[in-house]
Structure 1
Amino acid sequence: MAEREWRVPVAQAAAKWAAAVAVAALAAVSAGDRQFLLLAAAAAIGLAALALRDLLAPVRVAADAAGVTVVAGYAARRRIPWDEVAAVRVDERRRLLLHTRLLEIETSDDLHLFSRFDLGAEVDDVAAALGELRQGSSSGVG
């Protein structure tokens, strides 16, 4: 089976950059109000840091018959062979008006969480594709 990868959508990364620029411009025009300037500058820096991560590590999850590669930390990558993956599942939670769905890739020492905004696809679809790749790796062994 060929390698599959899931990445942050380009439009989403562009929106983060645009928001960072807009907030920075807002900070620049409000230089007279020090508190607002500080808050706007902090927000602009935070948005720019998130957007920079999308440029440095756009592919959040990649997988093939041998294993899965995930983004770990800010922009590092970690390769995990399938035999080290304890579980791949979708975590769904409903609280008040919020409904969150996360892809969980669990190993013996770590839990990697990804939303549809990280993957550019529905988490159920990614979990199914990872399951197929994992099945393909175990059926080809032995």
Structure 2
Amino acid sequence: MAAGPERRWRVPHAQVAAKCAGAAVVTAFAVFYRHDPQFLFLAIAAAVGLNALALRDLLAPVRLAADGDGVTIVTGYASRRRVPWDAVTAMRVDERRRLLLQTRILEIETADDLHLLSAFDLGADVHDVADELYRLRARTGP
């Protein structure tokens, strides 16, 4: 049973809709340009990829949930793994700057795995999510 209120972070609905719309557009291109084998191959590959990403977002929209007992993280394609707070060895935000881009990734480390979540996965700034996770973990002790 979860201790205290559960907090959830999910993929934004607009992002899922954009992936579905992109897959539909690329599929339409594949139909209209079916006489060009190279374009058809690329369009089908793009459509399959976008559909796979959109399906994952529909099957596992909540990428991270946390409460006083621990965190539940989506692993693999759409599986979920429950990790108690005492099994979490580290939580940190990794920031990197390359060229004109800056990436921020929330890292949740356990003894046997490293879970990486971006703002696109969480629908929120990773610093805000990390702060909330620290608060939830502090309520139960280290």
| TM-score normalized with structure 1 length | 0.96
The alpha carbon displacement at 1:98 in A equals 1.5
> Partners of 2:99 and 2:54 in 1: how far apart?
29
**Corresponding residue of 2:48:** 45
> Partners of 1:130 and 1:41 in 2: how far apart?
40
**Corresponding residue of 2:27:** 24
Matched, 1:78 2:72: no
Matched, 1:10 2:10: no
**Corresponding residue of 2:116:** 113
The alpha carbon displacement at 1:137 in A equals 1.2
Q: Secondary structure at the match of 1:137?
A: coil
> Partners of 1:137 and 1:88 in 2: how far apart?
16
> Partners of 2:10 and 2:140 in 1: how far apart?
23
Q: Which amino acid aligns with 1:35?
A: Q
Q: Residues 26-80 of structure 1, C-alpha deviation per residue, up to 9 Å, x if partnerless?
A: 0110011001001000000000000000000000000000000000000000000
Instruction: Give me the identity figure in percent.
Output: 66
Q: Which amino acid aligns with 1:77?
A: R
- Aligned-CA RMSD value: 0.8
> Partners of 2:9 and 2:91 in 1: how far apart?
15
5 Å matches for 1:89-108? 89-108=92-111
Q: Secondary structure at the match of 1:50?
A: helix
Q: Which amino acid aligns with 1:52?
A: L
Q: Which amino acid aligns with 1:111?
A: L
| Structure 1 runs of 4+ with >6 Å offset | none
Q: Aligned residue pairs: how many?
A: 139
Unpaired segments ≥5 residues, structure 2:
none
Q: Which amino acid aligns with 2:114?
A: L
The alpha carbon displacement at 1:93 in A equals 0.4
The alpha carbon displacement at 1:113 in A equals 0.4
Unpaired segments ≥5 residues, structure 1:
none
> Partners of 1:134 and 1:88 in 2: how far apart?
11
| TM-score normalized with structure 2 length | 0.96
